Amino acid sequence: MYLSLVKKDFKIVLRGNLGILVAQMLFILIIISVNMGIVGYGVMVTAFGWQLLLSVSTEEKKSRSLALLIAMPYEKGKIITTRYVSPMLGFAGVTLIYEGLALITNMNDFFIIKPLTYDVIAITMCAYALFISITVPLYLILSDSVVRGITIFLILGTVWIGYFLWNNINIRNSLLTMTFITNHFHIVCIIVSIISLVISRTISLQIFKKIEY
């Protein structure tokens, strides 16, 4: 069930939107990443997840496939998990693409696109996971236009707050003053990312349980 629905999600988002997605990512890379560094990476992954969820939402509302799925004897948790896996795989894919482009554009140790670090990926995943946890239940019950408005506000708000905090509070250096974190920084970042995924899915499931169809 999980694998087939994930494949279906990616077919939907890539089938009619591949050109738009490529143009969107190039725009973000050229305009945002070059001028604002890692902020472009955060916008890239969030924009892809947003496009994926809304594309799937539009298709499902046309075919009423979600109504059929909910009518089947599956637990709500399984539906959330399935709908949660697709954007998280998208996060991993966009992260790999971004890092690959950063390495390609490396010119004599000068990076046009700033490469990623463990802490950047971990912080971005925390924000992205929260975004997905709220968006998944919303797109299941609200019209696409309403979800677009809410999610655009979430994207802009998250990016602005993250950029402000990152530039005014030296989070990384503060953490590195702790000896344990300094010696195991990459492990700490991985643990934080996993915790954010668990919390995010729990939030999404709790919201979904409140939904009445």
Q: What is the pLDDT of residues 37-96, one digit of tens each?
A: 566 777 778 778 877 877 777 776 666 555 555 555 455 666 667 777 888 888 888 888
Sequence ranges of the domains in the chain: 2-209
pLDDT tens digits, one per residue of 198-210: 777 777 777 766 6
- Taking the C-alpha atoms of 125, 127, 128 and 133 in order, what is their torsion angle to the nearest 10 degrees? 120
The answer to whether 185 touches 176, Cβ cutoff 8 Å, is yes
Q: Torsions phi, psi of 116, nearest 5?
A: -85, 155
Give yes or no for a contact between 42 and 122, defined as CB atoms under 8 angstroms apart: no
Burial class (CB within 10 angstroms; exposed 0-12, middle 13-18, buried 19+) of 135:
buried
- Assessment of whether the complete model's pTM goes beyond 0.75: no
